[in-house]
C-alpha cells in the first residue's frame, strides 16, 4: 500500500505491518506527557496497576502549567503529588515554577517533541506536535499511566483526510484564520476518528510556529492527529533552534486518503469562531458591532514568539480601550525572555495590557482572567464552549493574535484592517 | 452487564467542559466530581438523576478536553452506561478505561425520548426501549474494549498484564 505520512510515522513505531485503516496496532512511544490536572490521576492509575517503575525516566514529561502559579490549596496539592512522583521515579523532565511553560509550546522548544516521533499526552492538544511532523495524540490519564508503565500503547490506524491550501494569504490573515476556516467547513466532528494531513503551497511557505498553531486545533475538528510535512523549512527551523534536523520522511506521491479538502486561501479574510462552538466561524467584517470586556493573547495555540510579535505590531502606539482587560501570557520562559529583550513587553505595558506568567490559566477558565455574567472575550485560545472561560452566561470569540489585539484597541470584535 | 434505567437525553457536541467544568478538576474523587456532573450544561442537572439512570447523547458526545474526570463524573453521578449517536475519540477510550460502556447507535438515537426506560444486556448484545417496546441495534463493542471492561477498566487490565509479566 502506498503510504501517507501518518502511516509512515506510525510504522516506525510498530512491528505490526500497517495495511489498512481500522487496524489496531501496538506502538512504542517516544514521549509520554501529563500536566498538573491529568498527572495526579495518571499517577493514581499507575499505582493502581501495580506498576513500580516508569519504562524510561527520560521519556516522560510532567509539566505543571494549567493552574500555575497554583491558584488554591487543592491545585497546589495536585503539584505536590506530581513533584513527589517525579522525585521517586527520578524523572528527567519535570517542570514547575519558573522552569515551566505551556506544555505544547515547551516540549518542541526543548526538543522533547521531534519530527517522526510518536507522542501521547494526557491533554487533548497533544496533537500540536503534528506541526513538526510527529504523530501526536491526546488520551486520558489512565491510557497515559499504561504508556508510562509499558512504553507502548494501542492505536487504531485512522483514515486520513488531506487538507490542501492553495493561493496567497492577504494581510492580517494568519495560520489561525486558516485553521478556523477549515473547522468552519468540516465541523467539530468533521474528522472524528480520523487523522488530518496538511499540504499545499500555502503550507509549504507557512512558518513552523504557524503550523503548530494549526495542528493544535486538529482536535477541534475531532481529529486524532494533524500532521504537517517534514520539509526543508522544518529542518531549517530545527537547526536554528539547535535541534537535530536530519529526518527525511514524506508521504508517497500516490498515497491513499479518505478524502481531500481543498481550500483556496486567496481572498480569505480574518475570521472568528463565534460562541459557543469552534465551527461557528464567521468573517469579522460580517459581524454586527460586538462589545467585549476581555482579551486573552496566549495559550498553546497562539502564545509563541511570532504570535506576540504580530500582536505587538498592532499595539505599538495604540491603547487598549477603557473597560477592556487585555491579558498577554507568553507561553514559556524562553518566549517571555525574548519578548522582554526585544521590547515587546514594553509595547504591551505601554498599551495598557496585563502581562502575566506562562500559564494555561484563562483558556480553560482556571484562573488569571475569568469572565463574569454576560461578559464577552476575544481570545487566541482554542475552545469557545459555553462557560469555558467562566460564567455560563459569558461568550468567547476565538481569533488570531492580530485580530485579538485590534479587538482590544477598539473594544469590540475587530480585525486590524479597521484600525 | 445487565441494567435497566430511565433516560436523560442531551444534545449534540456536548463537550467535556460541559460534563465537568475545569474549576472542579482540583480533585479526582468520583463522588465530588459526580456531584457536579453536567454542571457546565446546567448547574443542577445532576439533581434529576437517580442511581442507575442512563444518559442518552447526540453526536460527538465528550468532545474537547481529554479530562478523564468526565467519565468519572458520569459514573460518580450513578450513571452506569451512555447511549449515543457518536462519541469523541478521546472520550471513547477514557470511558471504557474507567469501566463506563458506551453504546454507539447513530440515527437510532431519535427512537429514544427523554424519560424513556431502557434495558441493556451487553452479553446478549441487546438494547431495548421498554417504553416504546423497540429493539435498537448498536455498533458491536470492539474486542479490546470488551477485554478492558471485563477487567473493570484499564487499571485492572494493565495490572493483569504486569503481574503476568513477572
**Tell me: the pLDDT tens digits for A131-185?**
999 999 999 999 999 999 999 999 999 999 999 999 999 999 999 999 999 999 9
A 111-130 → B contacts, CB under 8 A: 121-124, 126
Phi and psi at A308, nearest 5°, equal: -65, -40
Residues 123-152 of B with CB under 8 A from A: 142, 144
Q: What is the pLDDT of residue A247?
A: 96
Alpha helix locations (H) across A140-225? 141-150, 175-186, 201-205, 208-216
Q: Which residue of A has its CA nearest to B90?
A: A139
Owning domain of residue A354: 272-418
Percent of residues, chain B, with pLDDT higher than 90: 89
Q: What is the mean pLDDT of chain A?
A: 97
Distance (Å, rounded) from C-alpha A88 to C-alpha A382? 35
Q: How far is B85 from chain A (nearest CA, A)?
A: 12
Which one of A55, A82, A140, A360 makes the best mutation probe of the B interface by having the most chain B beta carbons within 10 Å?
A140
Mean pLDDT in residue range B12-27:
94
- Give the model's pLDDT for residue A5: 98
Q: Are residues A258 and A286 in the same domain?
A: no
Paired residues of A262 in beta bridges: A164
Clarify whether residues A87 and A178 are in a common domain: yes
* Minimum Cα–Cα distance from B17: chain A residue: A388
Q: Count Cβ–Cβ pairs < 8 Å, chain A vs chain B.
A: 133
A45 and B154: CB-CB below 8 Å?
yes
Residues B90, B102: contact at Cβ < 8 Å?
no
- Which of A230, A263, A296 lies at the terminal end of a domain, its last residue? A263
- Collect all residues of chain B within an 8 Å Cβ-Cβ radius of residue A149: 158, 162
Residues A250 and A318 in one domain: no
Of the candidates A269, A274, A278, the one whose C-alpha atom is nearest the C-alpha of residue A290 is A274
> Which of the residues B27, B43, B57, B68 would you substitute to probe the A interface, choosing the one with the greatest number of A C-beta atoms within 10 Å?
B68
Site from A33, A44, A142, A147 to mutate, B interface, most B CB atoms within 10 angstroms? A142
- Domain check: are A207 and A227 in the same one? yes
Which strand ranges, in their side-by-side order, compose the sheet holding A159-166?
Answer: A225-227, A194-199, A159-166, A259-264
B-chain CB neighbours of A221 within 8 Å are none
C-alpha to C-alpha distance for A133 and A120, rounded to whole angstroms? 14
Cβ-nearest to A139 among B17, B27, B93: B93
Among A235, A263, A291, the domain-final residue is: A263
If pLDDT is split at 50, 70 and 90, which confidence band does B165 have?
Answer: low
> What is the value of ipTM here, to two decimals?
0.93
Compare CB distances from A41 to B23, B28, B41 and report the shortest one's residue: B28
Provide the edge-to-edge strand list for the sheet that holds A118-121.
A93-95, A60-63, A31-35, A118-121, A135-138
CATH code of A345's domain: 3.30.499.10
Cβ distance A121 to A33 under 8 Å? Answer: yes
Report, at the CATH architecture level, how domain B2-165 is classified: Alpha-Beta Barrel (3.20)
Q: Looking at CA atoms only, how far is residue B159 from chain A in angstroms?
A: 4
Parts of chain A with a pLDDT under 50: none
B28 contacts in chain A (CB < 8 Å): 40-41, 44
How many CA atoms are closer than 13 Å to the CA of B137, on its beta-carbon side? 4
- Nearest CB to A222; choose among B23, B60, B67: B60
Q: What distance in Å separates residue A351's CA from the closest CA in chain B?
A: 31
At residue B144, the pLDDT reads 86
Structural domain tally of chain A? Answer: 2
A221 at B interface, C-beta within 8 A: no
**CA separation for the pair A346, A263 (Å, rounded):** 38
- Residues A200 and A89 placed together within one structural domain of the fold: yes
**Same domain assignment for residues A369 and A335:** yes
| Interface contact B154, partner A, CB < 8 A | yes
Single out the residue of A396, A390, A415, A395 nearest to residue A405, CA to CA: A415
A301/A253 same-domain check = no
pLDDT tens sequence across A355-375: 999 999 999 999 999 999 999
Residues of B in contact with A45 (CB under 8 A): 154-155
- The pTM assigned to this predicted structure is 0.97
- Among B19, B64, B144, the residue to mutate for chain A (most A Cβ within 10 A): B64
DSSP-assigned letter for residue A353: P
The verdict on A281 and A255 lying in the same domain is no
Reduced to 3 states (helix: H, G, I; strand: E, B; else coil), residue A243 is: coil
Q: Are residues A339 and A254 in the same domain?
A: no
Same domain, A182 and A281: no
In this structure, are A391 and A298 located in the same domain?
yes
Q: How far apart are CA A150 and CA A345, in angstroms?
A: 44
CA distance A400 to A403: 5
End of a domain among A263, A288, A319?
A: A263
The ranges assigned to domains in chain B are 2-165
Would you place residue B166 in the very low, low, confident or very high pLDDT band (cuts 50, 70, 90)? very low
Beta-carbon contacts of B164 under 8 Å, excluding residues fewer than 6 positions away, are none
Kindly determine whether residue B67 and residue A72, on different chains, have CB atoms separated by under 8 Å: no
**Residue-wise pLDDT tens digits, B68-92:** 999 999 999 999 999 999 999 999 9
Selecting from B144, B158, B162 the residue whose C-beta is nearest the C-beta of A24 gives B144
- DSSP secondary structure, B16-71, as one string: HHHHS-GGGTT---HHHHHTTTTTTT-TTGGGG--TT-EEEE-TTBTBS---THHH
Q: Do A189 and B60 count as a contact with CB atoms less than 8 A apart? A: yes
3-state percent breakdown (helix, strand, coil) of chain A, nearest 5 = 35, 20, 45
Write the residue in A49, A51, A140 that is nearest to B68 by C-beta.
A140
pLDDT tens figures, A298-315: 999 999 999 999 999 999
Mutate to test the interface with A, among B71, B89, B102, B157 (most CBs of A within 10 A): B89
Q: Which residues touch A365 (CB under 8 Å, ≥6 apart)? A: A371, A387, A388, A389, A390, B17, B21, B22, B23
Question: Shortest CA distance to A117 belongs to which of A127, A102, A125, A105?
Answer: A127
Q: Does residue A226 sit in the same domain as residue A305?
A: no
In angstroms, rounded to a whole number, what is the distance separating the alpha carbons of residues B28 and B21?
Answer: 13
Q: Which residue of A has its CA nearest to B142?
A: A24
Amino acid at each position: 500500500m502506498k503510504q501517507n505520512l501518518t502511516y509512515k510515522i506510525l510504522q516506525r513505531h510498530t512491528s505490526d505491518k500497517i495495511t489498512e485503516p481500522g487496524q489496531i496496532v501496538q506502538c512504542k512511544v517516544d514521549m509520554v506527557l501529563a500536566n498538573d490536572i491529568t498527572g495526579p490521576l495518571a499517577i493514581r492509575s499507575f499505582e493502581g496497576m501495580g506498576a513500580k517503575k516508569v519504562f524510561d525516566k527520560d521519556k516522560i514529561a510532567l509539566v505543571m502549567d494549567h493552574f500555575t502559579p497554583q491558584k488554591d490549596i487543592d491545585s497546589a496539592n495536585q503539584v505536590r503529588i506530581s513533584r513527589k512522583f517525579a522525585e521517586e521515579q527520578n524523572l528527567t523532565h519535570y517542570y514547575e515554577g519558573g522552569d515551566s511553560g505551556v506544555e505544547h509550546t515547551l516540549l518542541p522548544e526543548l526538543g522533547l517533541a521531534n519530527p517522526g516521533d510518536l507522542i501521547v499526552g494526557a491533554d487533548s492538544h497533544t496533537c500540536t506536535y503534528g506541526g513538526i511532523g510527529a504523530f501526536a495524540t491526546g488520551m486520558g490519564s489512565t491510557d497515559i499511566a499504561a504508556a508510562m508503565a509499558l512504553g507502548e500503547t494501542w492505536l487504531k490506524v485512522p483514515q486520513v483526510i488531506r487538507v490542501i491550501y492553495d493561493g496567497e494569504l492577504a494581510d492580517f490573515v494568519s495560520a489561525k484564520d486558516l485553521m478556523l476556516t477549515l473547522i468552519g467547513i468540516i465541523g467539530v466532528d468533521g474528522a472524528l476518528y480520523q487523522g488530518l494531513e496538511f499540504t499545499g503551497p500555502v503550507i509549504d511557505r507557512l512558518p513552523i510556529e504557524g503550523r503548530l498553531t494549526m495542528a493544535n486545533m486538529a482536535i477541534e475538528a475531532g481529529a486524532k492527529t494533524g500532521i504537517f510535512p517534514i520539509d526543508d523549512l522544518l529542518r531549517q527551523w530545527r537547526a536554528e533552534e539547535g535541534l537535530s534536523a536530519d529526518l527525511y520522511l514524506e508521504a508517497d506521491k500516490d498515497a491513499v486518503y479518505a478524502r481531500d479538502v481543498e481550500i483556496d486561501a486567496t481572498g480569505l479574510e480574518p475570521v472568528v469562531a463565534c460562541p459557543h462552538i469552534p465551527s461557528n466561524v464567521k468573517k469579522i467584517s460580517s459581524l454586527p458591532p460586538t462589545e467585549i470586556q476581555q482579551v486573552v493573547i496566549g495559550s498553546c495555540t497562539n502564545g509563541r514568539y511570532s504570535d506576540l510579535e504580530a500582536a505587538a505590531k498592532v499595539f505599538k502606539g495604540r491603547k487598549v480601550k477603557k473597560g477592556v482587560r487585555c491579558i498577554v501570557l507568553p507561553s514559556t520562559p524562553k518566549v517571555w525572555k525574548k519578548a522582554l529583550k526585544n521590547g515587546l513587553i514594553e509595547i504591551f505595558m505601554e498599551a495598557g495590557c496585563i502581562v502575566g506568567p506562562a500559564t494555561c490559566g484563562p483558556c480553560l477558565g482556571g484562573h488569571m482572567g475569568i469572565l463574569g455574567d454576560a461578559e464577552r472575550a476575544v481570545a487566541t485560545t482554542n475552545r469557545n464552549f459555553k462557560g469555558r472561560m467562566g460564567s455560563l452566561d459569558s461568550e468567547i470569540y476565538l481569533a488570531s493574535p492580530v485580530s485579538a489585539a485590534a479587538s482590544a484597541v477598539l473594544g469590540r470584535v475587530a480585525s486590524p484592517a479597521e484600525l | 452487564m445487565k441494567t435497566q434505567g430511565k433516560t436523560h437525553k442531551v444534545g449534540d457536541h456536548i463537550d467535556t467542559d460541559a460534563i465537568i467544568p475545569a474549576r472542579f478538576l482540583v480533585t479526582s474523587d468520583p463522588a465530588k466530581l459526580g456531584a457536579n456532573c453536567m454542571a457546565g450544561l446546567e448547574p443542577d442537572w445532576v439533581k434529576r438523576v437517580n442511581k442507575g439512570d442512563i444518559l442518552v447523547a447526540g453526536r460527538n458526545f465528550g468532545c474537547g478536553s481529554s479530562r478523564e474526570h468526565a467519565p468519572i463524573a458520569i459514573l460518580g453521578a450513578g450513571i452506569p452506561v451512555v447511549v449515543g449517536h457518536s462519541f469523541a475519540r478521546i472520550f471513547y477510550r477514557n470511558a471504557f478505561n474507567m469501566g463506563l460502556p458506551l453504546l454507539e447507535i447513530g440515527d437510532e438515537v431519535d427512537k429514544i425520548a427523554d424519560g424513556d426506560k431502557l434495558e441493556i444486556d451487553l452479553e446478549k448484545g441487546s438494547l431495548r426501549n421498554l417504553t416504546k417496546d423497540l429493539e435498537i441495534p448498536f455498533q458491536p463493542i470492539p474486542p479490546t474494549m470488551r477485554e478492558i471492561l471485563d477487567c473493570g477498566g484499564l487499571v485492572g487490565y494493565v495490572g493483569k498484564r504486569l503481574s503476568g509479566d513477572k
